[in-house]
Amino acid sequence: MPQLSVNGRKLGYEIQPMSFDKSKLTVVFIHGTGGDRNDWRGQLDGLSCAANMLALELPGHGASEPPGESSVSEYSRWVVEFINALGLAKVMVVGCSLGSAITQWIALNAAESWLVAVGLVGAGARLKVHPAFLQGLREDSVKALTALADFCLGDRPDPILQKNLRAKLADSSPELIYGDLYACNEFDVMDKVNTISLPTCLIVGEQDKLTPVKYSKYLNEVIKGSVLNVIPNAGHLVSMEQPEQFNKSLGDFLESLSVR
């Protein structure tokens, strides 16, 4: 899979179709804590007929060179610099969890002409992390990472998905996960999220335990013209748990955009 050198560091990504037109709309997906490009496998494979689909791996994640970061603003700068370096003309940034915080930061702080829309998945204008997760990573990382994996899924998770997610987080660096969660915990744009004026798609799993539906309903209320989709039988990682329903929601939103 390709890598792009940004400020002397290689960042991993995947794009579908592999031969793509940079002048056309590209959806850039940003994963959450401990994630990678495969968190968006269902979208890379299922939505490439609607626009270019690109899954970026944040520093320290997947094929991207370490270290990771511990603030949303620093991760956001990498995303902006990556998009500029790749030379994309029209971009919708879609982020889940930590990725949703990054997406909000970009919408609020980066005056980039290529940004035409945003997607917030499992999002909140504030993302406080339960102290038990942060403390647990210091005291018993194996137990904490297993608990985090289970909290990410709905009430009746697919056993294979649950097994794979547990294994993925178990293989992750506790320090990287701690940095990601710390970045989420410090994130708070409650006082200005209402100034986002871009077309905004909100998607949340009905059984999301980490960013409950009420968080997305709040964003829907304060972001003018935003569209909210609540997907049943899914938790925090809704794009992985219900990829077909997720793709229908995002695909319908892409169809509604005037910029293609």
Residues 182-193 have pLDDT tens digits of: 999 999 999 999
**Six token digits for residue 13:** 């990504």
Which amino acid does the sequence have at 224? Answer: K
Backbone angles phi, psi at 228, to 5 degrees: -110, 130
Residues with Cβ within 8 Å of residue 218, at least 6 apart in sequence? 124, 125
- Is a pLDDT exceeding 80 seen at residue 258? no
Once rounded to an integer, what is the mean pLDDT over residues 156-166? 96
Question: What percent of the chain stands above pLDDT 70?
Answer: 99
- Is a pLDDT exceeding 80 seen at residue 259? no
Upstream peptide bond of 17 is cis (omega within 30 degrees of 0):
yes
* DSSP symbol at 194: G
Give strand ranges (E) for 89-199: 90-96, 115-121
Instruction: Judge contact between 14 and 55, C-beta under 8 A.
Output: yes
Angle in degrees, 0-180, between the axes of helices 98-109 and 72-86, rounded to the nearest 10: 70
Query: 7, exposed or middle or buried, with CB in 10 Å at 0-12, 13-18, 19+?
Result: exposed
Number of Cβ within 10 Å of residue 213's Cβ equals 14
Sign (positive/negative) of CA torsion 130, 131, 132, 137? positive
3 state DSSP class of 52: strand
Instruction: Judge contact between 176 and 60, C-beta under 8 A.
Output: yes
pLDDT at site 132: 87
**Mind listing the pLDDT tens digit for each residue in 217-244?**
999 999 999 999 999 999 999 999 999 9
Instruction: Judge contact between 68 and 179, C-beta under 8 A.
Output: yes
**Mind listing the pLDDT tens digit for each residue in 164-203?**
999 999 999 999 999 999 999 999 999 999 999 999 999 9
- Is a pLDDT exceeding 90 seen at residue 19? no
Rounded to whole angstroms, how far apart are CA atoms 52 and 155? 33
**Candidates 3.30.300.30, 3.40.50.300, 3.40.50.80, 3.40.50.1820; correct CATH number of 3-256?**
3.40.50.1820
Rounded to whole angstroms, how far apart are CA atoms 164 and 92? 29
